[in-house]
Amino acid sequence: MKKKIYRFTVIVFVLIFALLVSCAQKTAPVETKAEFSAERMMETISLMSAEDSGRIAGFSGEAKTGDYIHAQFESMGLDVERQYFPVLAFACDKVSVELDSVFEGENIEVKVMTFSAPTPIEGIEAEVIPVGFGAEEDYGNLDASGKIALIMRGGEYFGAKAHRAYENGALAAVIYDPNGDEPISATLGQPSAIPSVSISRSTAVGIEEAIESGKNVTARIIVDSESRNAMSSNVIAIYDSKDNPDDKYVVVGAHYDGVDTPAANDNATGTAVIMEIARYLTDMEAELPFDVRFIAFGAEEIGLLGSEAYTGDLDTDEREVAVAMINYDMVGAGEYFEILTVEGTDNYDFIESAKNVLEAMEESPVFSYTDRSDHASFSRIGVQAADIQMSPALHYHTDLDTIDIVDSENLIKMCQFGAGMLLDELPGWLD
């Protein structure tokens, strides 16, 4: 009888020990000499954001950046592919806004909206009329015909605002951000019928106050712009798993193009982070139950064109073995993690995994929705996907988006999160 009790005790002890070891393997960090380098990521961001307007989609700066990323992935020993696709590139040689005597002597800061129509050489001069957010109901009984529409950012896409101004007879659209003073750089999505620019909030408020006091404000807008056919590309680096009989894969992506700003946080930071995660996995020779496709997307800023080109080129089999997509966009400046998914899509397993990883990091994320980054292209084909960023995301699409606002600690945290997601057992992801 004593022998039976002893054997039973030994068996229980062995089972408990095995369980403890299993739990330790699940939560303990992998022992490896590999580590994340904030210095290396900051160097990448510095190179990518050194030139104002240096990575606009379809131009040489974007192409050179793609070459740089390609070379960096190859230096890690990864197989690298380049996917080229056509884009409509946009360039502007001159943009200006002059206001009448009410603002005499003021230097008006202005940005052109990508795909803005040009003005005649002499410009367009007309009375300015505020139209709120530029929704249909905001026009109401206003007569915008032959005038310049002053529109607040928010709600709809910029292209929809500019088009509605045109439909209501406006000669031009001037947009401003009510939550940030800098003029914004953004895309209209496609060529507009009227010139469209942005100005600072302080200038816009000054115009509105002058009009409310009974004064007429006249503006003269000059836009010397052109749109032309060009090419962009996605840079695809493949981390090959040694034990992946079903050919499953996870996409870890970030767009590398920018608007006409230094574009450091948006999105040199995301590009630097995915490159660092790729280097980390290769250095530690991580064994994963899936491949990882690290993709630097081109032409995100002009309509998610890179990710749409990639997902549109996947055959049925490739879509079925896609486990998930993790998208990094604006990850260097901010105070807390924000996980954004496309509303109405099934991302339960991804969110649960993200919660677990961030909880282990002692981070408290905010969860919200957006379809304005490259994860949305994957959600549309049924792949669970999410965009990761640090929030609040201030200064993006402005000239203040420089390396000075990037916090290297955020970059390290983003790498830790990505590695945690990939090295975790990912419950439910592989079902």
Q: What pLDDT is recorded for position 27?
A: 38
**DSSP assignment string, 96-162:** EEEE-GGGTT----EEEPBTPPPPPTT-EEEEEEE-TT--HHHHTT---TTSEEEEE--SS-HHHHH
What pLDDT score was predicted for residue 244? 87
Write out pLDDT tens, residues 366-386. Answer: 999 999 999 999 999 999 999
Contacts of 367 (CB under 8 A, 6+ apart): 338, 339, 340, 341, 351
pLDDT in tens, 129-164: 999 999 999 999 999 999 999 999 999 999 999 999
Amino acid letter for position 388: I
pLDDT of residue 428: 66
pLDDT of residue 427: 58
| pLDDT recorded at residue 430 | 67
- Nearest Cα neighbor of 331 from 391, 377, 263 is 391
CA distance 422 to 428: 13
Contact between 258 and 266 under an 8 Å Cβ cutoff? The reply is: yes
CA distance 135 to 202: 22
pLDDT classification of 33: cutoffs 50, 70, 90: low
Name the token pair of 379: 């959600």
Each residue of 234-284: pLDDT tens digit?
999 999 988 888 999 999 999 999 998 999 999 999 999 999 999 999 999
User: Which stretch of 99-103, 110-114, 331-335, 396-400 has the lowest confidence by average pLDDT?
Assistant: 99-103
Question: Has residue 170 got a pLDDT over 90?
Answer: yes
As a whole number, mean pLDDT of residues 378-403 equals 95
Name the one residue in this structure whose structure tokens are 């109405």: 344
Binned at pLDDT 50, 70 and 90, residue 297 comes out as very high
Quote the DSSP letter at residue 253: E
Q: Is the pLDDT of residue 176 over 80?
A: yes
pLDDT: which is higher, 391 or 5: 391
Domain boundaries, the chain: 30-89+229-423, 101-216
Q: How far apart are CA 144 and CA 167, in angstroms?
A: 10
Range from 22-31, 95-104, 116-125, 405-414 carrying the lowest mean pLDDT: 22-31
pLDDT, averaged across the chain: 91
| Among the listed residues 313, 341, 315, the one whose alpha carbon sits nearest the alpha carbon of residue 327 | 341
Task: Indicate if the pLDDT at residue 1 is higher than 80.
Answer: no
39-48 pLDDT, tens digit per residue, is 999 999 999 9
pLDDT of residue 21: 42
30-89+229-423 and 101-216, same CATH topology: no
Computed from CA positions of residues 295, 297, 303, 307, in that sequence, does the dihedral angle turn out positive or negative?
negative
Share of the chain above pLDDT 90, in %: 83
User: CA torsion 186→192→193→195, rounded to 10°?
Assistant: 30
Predicted pLDDT of residue 253: 98
Confidence of residue 26 (pLDDT cuts 50, 70, 90): very low
d(CA 414, CA 366): 15
Taking 90 as the threshold, does the pLDDT of residue 13 lie above it?
A: no
Q: Contact 78/290 with Cβ under 8 angstroms?
A: no
CATH of the domain spanning 30-89+229-423, picked from 3.40.50.1820, 3.40.50.1100, 3.40.630.10, 2.60.130.10: 3.40.630.10
Is the pLDDT at 29 greater than 50, yes or no?
no
- In the chain, the percentage of residues whose pLDDT exceeds 70 is 91
Domain 101-216 has CATH 3.30.460.10: no
Question: 138: which 2 tokens?
Answer: 């905001």
